[in-house]
Amino acid sequence: MPHSRRTSTARLDPRGPLVLDTRALPRRPGSARTETRTVPAPADLHTGMAGIPEGSDLRLDVTLESVTEGVLATVTAVAPVTGECARCLEPVAQMVEVRCQELFSYEQGAGDADEGGYALDGDLLDLEPVLRDALVLALPLAPLCRPDCPGLCTECGALLARAGPDHGHERATDPRWAGLRQQMTQGEPVARPAPEISEESGRGRP
Q: Which domain holds residue 95?
A: 19-138
3 lies in some domain: no
Domain total in the chain: 1
12 in a structural domain: no
184 belongs to a structural domain: no
In a domain, 198, yes or no: no
DSSP assigned state of 204: B
* Residue 197 CB contacts under 8 Å (≥ 6 apart), including other chains: none
- Tens-place pLDDT, residues 60-88: 999 999 999 999 999 999 999 999 999 88
Establish if 77 belongs to a structural domain.
yes
The pLDDT mean for the chain works out to: 82
Note whether residue 202 is domain-resident: no
- The residues facing 19 across adjacent strands are 126
Q: Specify if 13 maps to a domain.
A: no
Handedness of CA 165, 170, 171, 172 (dihedral sign): negative
* Residue 159 domain flag: no
Tens-place pLDDT, residues 86-95: 988 999 999 9
pTM score:
0.69
